[in-house]
Every structure is written in C-alpha cells, then in structure tokens.
Amino acid sequence: MKYQQRLQVAVRERLRKLMTAPYSSAGHEVHLAVTWINNQPALQRPPRRASRAEPGVDRERFRTGLTRSGPFVWPSRTEQGRAALIWELMQDIASKEASNPDVGLRTAIGYSMQKRHQDSWREFAEDILQPLFDFLSERVGSESSILHTLERYRTRIEWFDREELYTRFDADRANGEEVYNLDLQRFLFLEGDHITHAKPRSASGEADLIGDLDGRDPLVCDGKIFDGSSRGKGYLVKGLHQVVKYAHDYGQHTAYLVIYNITDKLRFDLEHTFRLFKQTLGWTKPRLRSSEAADRWTWLVIAAYAQLRLARPLATDLRRPWEKPAPPNRLTPARVRRGFRNLCTKTGSPASAPKPSRPGLAGRRVRRTATRPPVMTWAESLPPARRTAAPPTTRRAPNPGAPRSGKLDGLGHVQRARGRRCSRGYVGGSQLSDHRCRRRRRNPGRGATHPARLRTSEAPGDRARSRP
C-alpha cells in the first residue's frame, strides 16, 4: 500500500512539472514524462491495456480537433480510449522533440486561444494531458500490490533470514519446501494483509498458496527450491508449467512462481565476473574525470570480456604450475587472456603494416595538461557582505581640569583607564569587593596611594578637588 501511495504522489508531481514548465521547454518536459512512465513497471501496463480496450477510436478526428479547425470533442467513449489517445500524442511529441524542440508549444498554440504562450501551454496541459495522469493515478491504486510484497519478502530473506531458514530446511530436507512456503504465507499475512490457504485441491493438483480469488488482489502462488543438482533447471521448468495450470483452474490471468535458491552458484559467478573486471581487465584502474568517460571505459571492458569469451576455443591453455588442466572449451577468461596475444599471428588485421621510416614525433612524448576546475575557498563561496556607512561620532572637548593619568575617586585613589567601571570601586585597575573597599577606606595606607603623595603628580587645577 505504501508503494502505491508513493507512486501516486510521483504521478501527481510529474503532472505538476508539466503544467508549470516554461513554454520554451514544453516538448522536452513531455519527453521526460514519457521516459519516466516507461521506466516505471507499474505504469507500463495501463497504457497498453487502454489501447486494446477501445481499438476503433477515431485518431484522425482527435488530431484535427487540436488544430482549431472546429470545436474540440473527445472521439473516445471510455476513459481507456481517451488515455490511449493522450499517450499516443505524448509519444509523438517526445519522438519529434530532438529534431524540433518547439513541437510541444506549437501543438498547444494550435489548441488554445490564449494570447500568451505560457497560458496556452498551461491550458493545453490541463485540458488534454491531465486526464492521462488521472487515469494512471486511479489504475495504480487499483493494481495488485502482491508483486511489490514478494519483492520485499525476497529482500528480507537475503538480508536477514537466509541462514535461519536454511538451518530449518537442512533439519527437514524431505519437507524443505514447506518450511519456505510457510514462512512466505506468514509474511503475506503480516506485511501484505493477504489471507491465503495452503495446498488447496484443484483439477491440476495442489498449489502452494491460494488467496483472495474474488477480491481485488487474487493470489495464485507456487514455490520451488533450486539446489543445482536434483532440483535443477528441469525442476523449475516443471514448476512453471504447474503454476500456469493452476491459474487456468482458478480463472486467473496472473500467477506467481517463487524460486528459493539455496546455492551460491549465481552469486558466485557474478562476484567472480566483477573480480575479473577489476583485477584483470582494469575496470577501476583509470582515474576518469567525467561520467561520460567512465561509461565509455565500462563498455570497452565489456567488449574485451566478450572477446575473451569468443576466443575460448582458439586460445592455448597457458596454466600456472599449481593450476589444474582444463579442456579448451572450459577455459576461464583469465586463462584465455594469457594466450590471447598468440592469436594475433593467426588472425588477420585490417590495418596496414607499420612503416619504420616515419618515426612520428622523433621520440617526443606529447603531454596534455588536464583541465582542472577552479578551486573555491570557503570565503569565496560566501555571498559578499553588505557594507553600511558608520554613523558619525561626536567628540567632547577635553576638560583642562581633568587629570591626565586618570581620574580620582572619593578617597583620592587613582582609577586607571584600563580598569572596568563598577559600583564597588577600583584600585589599580582591579575590581574590589565591598568588604575590602570599606576596609581600605578605614586604613588607606596599605595597598593604596596616600593623598599627600598623590598631590605631587596632580595638576594645579585639580588640588581643589582632592580631599585630605
């Protein structure tokens, strides 16, 4: 259910992008919408089914109505037919967008009577394109969510419960499939809200899981174990035929075959392929600066791997002393690569023979400096600060009677300029507590300057202000 809700939100978001796109890039936005719909597995089926629902719809009348030659009327009689017409129109615009970027805007101008191009495109998107997205949103809500639930079950088994289920299977190999099928039935009930029945009898046999045949999400499911030996490919083919027969027995057009791979064969081959790409063919060796160059290099590595596979019957086995002999048709790509250089003498080349009389650049090596992007510091990335003029300041005229080295308090103590102003008082620029300040008022001879000694440094005009 969450997957369907997220997909519905994504469909509405894609419609919003179409309606708010600028008219200059209308065709490109239609192309992006068509590509996105084609990449969504749940959205690929509704347009195809809609095209088959009303095959006799008049498409020429629909295209003619978009050119203002007459009143526009939908030629379809069903929602499926209307959605099929819109889907074909969008595909046509997307295919012509590369050679003609204005094809989307021209189609909108031919339909709308608005004077502004932006208003014409928005009206065209609302009247013509929006019904398709409404149709997709409704069909997503009514489509089956069983496939999404099975994908979540596969992820849970691979990430969390792989070892536990295999231990239970190993304890009872005779009924091993029952262990996995019972776990799948429990997951469908808890996570997917599907009530299923195990082993119901039908004309073709007993399917593993059957549920909700009369509801919106019918389920016909069969599970098979793949171990690579007794239960190999033939066993899986047999299970595929069985699940098709079960679908016919219950009148359903969709059935599910769940394969439990209890071997590491597929994963083992895949991991060794990536190991060959990285260590032998140098997939991760170059330090490329762009994604396009990385894509080209990846395709070159894949082409080299294909050449090694094709050259397997022609290469000679140059094995190491500790390696076992292998038949010519069973050589690994790494062994084929060792003898690949010997094939150059057997196969021809379309290139001409090298000419030693033309040394080229006479031994000089061409070095090209790679383009480096500019380096921006943290300060450069910040926006420039706005500078405002400082307010004008006014200075008071100096008082000729004030002391130059500092000012005096009531006790005749000098308060230096670097001292911090406080109601408790200052002595030598340091703040004193009330207790020490009162104590020094009673005995000013210790730790303070005597008034008699202070008078020698005072200005003549300040003697009247000092107290004995």
Angle at 221 between CA 197 and CA 212, to 5 degrees: 50
Distances from the Cα of 21 to the Cα of 32, 118, 312, angstroms: 12, 9, 54
Per-residue pLDDT, 48: 77
* Summary count for the chain: helices (H), strands (E): 18, 8
Distances from the Cα of 396 to the Cα of 238, 392, 393, 399, 404, angstroms: 105, 13, 10, 9, 16
Distances from the Cα of 247 to the Cα of 156, 215, 238, 354, angstroms: 27, 15, 15, 67
Other CB atoms within 10 A of residue 112 CB: 20
Query: What is the residue-wise DSSP string for 103-141?
Result: HHHHHHHHH---SSHHHHHHHHIIIIIHHHHHHHHHHHH
Contact 86, 128 (CB under 8 A): yes
Per-residue pLDDT, 462: 47
Residue 371 has which token pair? 């383009």
**How many angstroms separate the CA atoms of 212 and 431, rounded?**
87
Handedness of CA 298, 304, 310, 313 (dihedral sign): negative
Q: Where are the domains of the chain?
A: 2-142, 146-263, 268-342, 407-462
Q: What is the pLDDT along the chain (468 residues), one digit of tens a residue?
A: 566 778 888 888 989 988 888 988 888 999 999 999 888 877 877 777 777 777 788 888 888 888 876 678 888 888 888 888 899 999 899 888 888 888 888 888 888 888 899 999 999 999 889 998 988 888 776 555 677 788 888 888 888 888 888 888 888 888 888 888 888 888 888 876 677 777 777 777 877 778 776 665 578 888 888 887 888 888 888 888 888 888 888 877 778 888 888 876 555 556 678 888 888 888 888 888 787 888 889 889 989 888 888 888 887 778 788 888 877 777 888 888 887 777 777 777 777 776 766 555 555 566 677 777 677 666 665 666 555 555 665 555 555 555 444 444 444 444 444 444 444 444 444 444 444 555 555 555 544 444 444 444 444 444 444 444
pTM: 0.41
Per-residue pLDDT, 399: 56
Beta bridge partners of 408: 414
**How many angstroms separate the CA atoms of 130 and 271, rounded?**
46
Per-residue pLDDT, 215: 61
Beta pairing class for 197-198 and 219-226: unpaired
Per-residue pLDDT, 300: 92
Per-residue pLDDT, 465: 45
Per-residue pLDDT, 74: 87
